[in-house]
Amino acid sequence: MLVLGLESSCDETAAALYEDGVVLAGVVRGQVDLHQRHGGVVPELASRAHLEAIDQVAAQALDEAGRGLAEVKGLAVTQGPGLVGALLVALNFAKGLGLAAGLPVTGVNHVKAHALAPFMARPGDPPPPEPDFPLVALVVSGGHSHLYLLTDHLTFSLLGRTRDDAAGEAFDKTAKLLGLGYPGGRAIEELAARGDPGAYRLPRPLWREGLDFSFSGLKTQVLTIYNRDKLAGRSSDDPALAGLAAGFQAAVVEVLVDKLRTALETTGARGAVLAGGVAANGALRAAALDMTRAAGRPLYVPPPAWCADNAAMIAHLGARQLAEGRNILGLADEARPRWPVE
Ligand code: KG4
Ligand code: ZN
C-alpha cells in the first residue's frame, strides 16, 4: 500500500512516500537557520515555516518517488506529541488532502514512530529486519527520553522516563553553555571526540536506581566546572573544553546504556531498540552495540537520517494503522500535543 507520510511536530517539515517496508522518497526541510539565533525552537516561527513548506515537501516527495497522488492509498500524519501550532500544520494539510483526494488519514504517535524506525528499508536494501517481540526501546530525542516495552508494533508500556530534561535537551543546553550553538548534540559529539572523557568525572544521575532518568543536574555540574576552570572564551581546540564535553557525553551515554541493559535483563526482552535524534550519536550507538552483544541480544538502530525527525517513520507506522483501520481521523479530530504512547 502506497502511503504518503507527513510530519511537522517540531522544527522539521517532512514528507515521505512509503510502500511495503520500503521508503521510496523522504524529504526533510529543517529550520535550524530560523531558530539558531534564538538558541532553541520558537514555536510561532516553527508553525509559520511549516505552513510555507508543507505542500512543497509533499509535492517533492511524490516527485522524487516518481509517483502521482492518484496512486497513493492513504495518508499518515503525526497527530502528537509535539508543539500544538506546529502539529496543526501537517494535520490540517492531511485532512484537507484526504478530503479532496478521497483518502483515509491515520494519526500517528511520533514517539512510537521513532521506536519503529529501525524496521524500514531503502530501495535496493535487503528487506528490513522483522522485530522479534517483546523488545525494549530507548527513545531519546530533544523532547523524550523514554524506555518502553513493546509487545507488538502497536502495544507499548512505559518502563522509565526522564524526570526532568530529555537527553537531547541536555545535549542542547550543555552545548549552549559551552558556546557551541544550537542544536547542540552533533556539536558536543564533535568536540567530545577530541577530548578525554576521564578529564572530568561527572555524576551518573539515578545510577542503578530504577529505570527513570534525570539529566538536568548534569548541565549544572558542567556549568560549575566551566566557571571554576574559567573555560569561557577557550577555542574548540582547547583540551579542557573538549574534555568537559567528552565527560558530559560519557556520563549521558553510560546512564542511558546501563538503563537499557537493566530493562533488557529485567523484562527478558528478545532485543533492544535505540531510536530518536540522540541515537545518531556515535558514542551512544557503539556503547549500546557493545552492551547488546555482551547480552547476546540484537540491537535495532536506524541509520542516522532516520534517528532525526522524518516522515518516513510516520508513513511506516501509519501504513500498519491504515491496514488495520486504526485511528482513522475525521475532520473533528484534533492534534494531541501531549500523547503518552501507552
Ligand atoms: O528526534 P529529534 O530530531 O527531534 C525530537 O523529536 O526532539 O531529536 C533532536 C535532538 C536534539 O536535541 C539534538 O541535539 C539531538 O537530537 N541530537 C544529538 C545528535 N544529533 C542530534 N544528540 C547527541 N549526539 C548527536 N550526534
Ligand atoms: Zn522526534
Neighbours of ion ligand 2 (CB under 5 A): 141, 309
Sole residue written with cell 497522488:
69
What digits encode the pLDDT tens for the residues 218-227? 999 999 999 9
pLDDT of residue 181: 84
Residue 273 Cα, ligand 1 centroid: separation in angstroms? 16
Residue 111 Cα, ligand 2 centroid: separation in angstroms? 7
CATH class entry, domain 2-120+305-324: alpha beta
**CA–CA gap between residue 322 and residue 324 (Å, rounded):** 5
Q: Once rounded to an integer, what is the mean pLDDT over residues 108-134?
A: 96
pLDDT of residue 236: 85
What digits encode the pLDDT tens for the residues 176-188? 999 998 889 999 9
Ligand nearest the Cα atom of residue 78: 2
Please state the atom number of ligand 1 nearest to the C-alpha of residue 141: 8
Domain ranges within the chain, ordered by starting residue: 2-120+305-324, 135-301
User: Taking CB atoms and a 6 Å cutoff, what residues make up the pocket around ligand 1?
Assistant: 10, 141-143, 168, 171-172, 183-186, 189, 276-278, 280-281, 308-309
Q: Once rounded to an integer, what is the mean pLDDT over residues 37-64?
A: 95
Ligand nearest the Cα atom of residue 170: 1
Domains 2-120+305-324 and 135-301 share a fold: yes
Q: Residue 286: CB partners within 8 Å, gap ≥ 6?
A: none
What digits encode the pLDDT tens for the residues 153-162? 999 999 999 9
Tally DSSP H helices, then E strands, for the chain. Answer: 11, 10
Residue 114 Cα, ligand 2 centroid: separation in angstroms? 7
What average pLDDT does the structure give for the chain?
96
Count of beta carbons in the 10 Å neighbourhood of residue 29: 18
Residue 9 Cα, ligand 2 centroid: separation in angstroms? 8
Q: Once rounded to an integer, what is the mean pLDDT over residues 257-281?
A: 98
Please state the atom number of ligand 1 nearest to the C-alpha of residue 172: 14
What digits encode the pLDDT tens for the residues 53-78? 999 999 999 999 999 999 999 999 99
**CA–CA gap between residue 153 and residue 134 (Å, rounded):** 10
**CA–CA gap between residue 135 and residue 264 (Å, rounded):** 8
pLDDT of residue 283: 98
**CA–CA gap between residue 180 and residue 171 (Å, rounded):** 10
CATH superfamily of 135-301: ATPase, nucleotide binding domain (3.30.420.40)
The grid coordinates listed for 218 are: 548534569
